[in-house]
Amino acid sequence: MTVTSQLKQTLAGLKSAQGTIRTYALQSQEEELRNIFQESLETTGEIIDSLENRLKKIEFEEPQYKGN
Amino acid sequence: MPVWTIILLRSVFFFFLVLFLVRIMGKRNPSRLIPFKFTLYVMIGVTAALTAVGAVNLFLGVVALAVFSLLPIGLDLLSARSKFVHDIVNGRETVLVKQGKVMEENLNQVRLTGEDLLRELRYKNVFNLNDVEFAIMEATGDINMVLKSDKKPVTPKDLEWKVSPQTEPQTVILDGSVSNEALTEMGLNRNWLEQQLETIGISLENVFIAQVDTTGELYVDLFDDTVSLAQPKVREMLYANLEKAQAELSGFVLEIEDQETKEAFAGNAQRLEDLLEKLRPHLLR
């Protein structure tokens, strides 16, 4: 498995985790808890964005690694 | 009118009268009454019973009942205003153990023997007098105590653990019927509930009790106990998934040779690790 396809898997895992965090950010009853999940949502979002950009760059620079 | 009809009518009348009087006298745990209150309840009961069976004149019985119930209400109102009256009516608490030492005089004053004190402490799971810092006898006769600080149960605060805040859970299904009030309290609705039940694959009729906790997770108990049900482990799963992603990112850092990409991955791996640290108390504890 190439690095890019591994990276894609990691991204998929992160995105599903982000989805779960999003439900918690919405349905938690405590203000404090909601805020924490909201922050986590933002952090994971930023990480996902950064990884996606990195992925595009790798694929652009080294097309031979283009995963599926 | 035959005698039995009279007794019947009087009994029914006093049944509801006593119900009403005891209600307006306030909510108290009958096992935690001060002796005086207990006596009052007995007086009300005996008067009502005697009058109901005709041993006492109906009117006189009602007068006595009115006094027995209205006077304590008046006294309660007065003692809420004045500490002096309160202490006279309810009595004061007595310190039995102070700074780990038994106060023998006070023990005598409330007619308690050393054996009694030890027994009461044993009720509270304290077998060693040495563990008690302070003990007090309430006006109701209950004994409460504070353990020495090194004998107290450990709390998350002692361990310097951060724990997730919790609100009370709401019971959304009881005996197979949905409580809309509890659902609205949590900001949820029937649709949400039906969706949740569908996800775990059970029908509403099969649910005995269902509760929603602080994070909005549903805990379900079924009528049919042979059906094994996977209880939600979503929080633990979420933590595991994030941890997995973090581990994979750290793995990439080792694998990748390009310096800039390497640093970018290292930065993200670190951020994810910080996030895990922050979420740990809320997802795992």
**pLDDT computed for residue B35 by the predictor:** 82
Is A1 contained in some domain?
Answer: no
Residues 6 or more apart whose CB falls under 8 angstroms from that of B99 comprise B133, B134
Q: Does B113 touch chain A (CB under 8 A)?
A: no
pLDDT digits (tens, 9 = 90+) for B203-252: 888 889 999 888 778 888 888 888 777 666 778 888 998 999 899 888 88
Q: Are residues B72 and B105 located together in one domain of the fold?
A: no
Is B158 contained in some domain?
Answer: no
For residue B97, pLDDT beyond 90: yes
Residue A1 — very low, low, confident or very high, per pLDDT cuts 50/70/90? low
Of A14, A24, A32, the CB nearest to B245: A14
Cβ(B249)–Cβ(A61) below 8 Å: no
Residue B122 — very low, low, confident or very high, per pLDDT cuts 50/70/90? very high
**pLDDT computed for residue B32 by the predictor:** 80
For residue B3, pLDDT beyond 90: no
Is B161 contained in some domain?
Answer: no
Q: Are residues B120 and B177 located together in one domain of the fold?
A: no
**pLDDT computed for residue B232 by the predictor:** 65
Q: What span, in angstroms and rounded, lies between the C-alpha atoms of B51 and B42? A: 14
Is B50 contained in some domain?
Answer: yes
A18-28: b (≥16 Cβ within 10 Å) or e: bebbbebbebb
For residue A65, pLDDT beyond 70: no
Is A50 contained in some domain?
Answer: yes
Is B10 contained in some domain?
Answer: yes
Q: How far apart are the CA of A29 and the nearest CA of chain B, in angstroms?
A: 5
**pLDDT computed for residue A5 by the predictor:** 83
Is A6 contained in some domain?
Answer: no
Show the domain range for B269: 235-284
Cβ(B24)–Cβ(B77) below 8 Å: no
Q: Position B222: which residue type?
A: L
Q: Are residues B255 and B276 located together in one domain of the fold?
A: yes
Q: What span, in angstroms and rounded, lies between the C-alpha atoms of A23 and B217? A: 10
Residue A25 — very low, low, confident or very high, per pLDDT cuts 50/70/90? confident
For residue B182, pLDDT beyond 90: no
Q: What span, in angstroms and rounded, lies between the C-alpha atoms of B103 and B94? A: 10
Is B47 contained in some domain?
Answer: yes
What number is the ipTM of this complex?
0.86
Of B186, B245, B275, the CB nearest to A13: B245
The mean of the pLDDT values for chain A is: 84
Q: Are residues B203 and B276 located together in one domain of the fold?
A: no
CATH number for B215: 3.30.240.20
Residue A28 — very low, low, confident or very high, per pLDDT cuts 50/70/90? confident
Is B269 contained in some domain?
Answer: yes
Q: How many domains does chain B have?
A: 4
Q: Are residues B98 and B35 located together in one domain of the fold?
A: no
Q: How far apart are the CA of B211 and the nearest CA of chain A, in angstroms?
A: 14
Is B155 contained in some domain?
Answer: no
Is A53 contained in some domain?
Answer: yes
B130: left (phi over 0), alpha (psi -120 to 50) or beta: alpha
Query: What residues in B contact A10, CB-CB < 8 Å?
Result: 245, 248-249, 252
Q: Are residues B202 and B244 located together in one domain of the fold?
A: no
Which residue would you say has higher pLDDT here, B247 or A68?
A: B247
Is A40 contained in some domain?
Answer: yes
Q: Are residues B192 and B141 located together in one domain of the fold?
A: no
The mean of the pLDDT values for chain B is: 87
**pLDDT computed for residue A68 by the predictor:** 54
Q: Are residues B190 and B125 located together in one domain of the fold?
A: no
Considering B68, B88, B108, which residue would you say is the last residue of a domain? B88
Hey, is B159 helix, strand or coil? coil
Q: What would the mean pLDDT of B171-189 be, rounded to a whole number?
A: 86
For residue A62, pLDDT beyond 80: no
pLDDT digits (tens, 9 = 90+) for B8-53: 999 999 999 999 998 888 887 777 888 888 899 999 999 999 999 8
Q: Are residues B76 and B23 located together in one domain of the fold?
A: yes
Of A21, A30, A58, the CB nearest to B238: A21
Is A51 contained in some domain?
Answer: yes
Residues 6 or more apart whose CB falls under 8 angstroms from that of A51 comprise A7, A10, A11, A14, B268
- Nearest Cα to Cα of residue B148 among B136, B134, B137: B134
Q: Position B42: which residue type?
A: V
Q: Are residues B82 and B10 located together in one domain of the fold?
A: yes
Show the domain range for A38: 31-58
Q: Does B285 touch chain A (CB under 8 A)?
A: no
Q: How many domains does chain A have?
A: 1
Is B71 contained in some domain?
Answer: yes
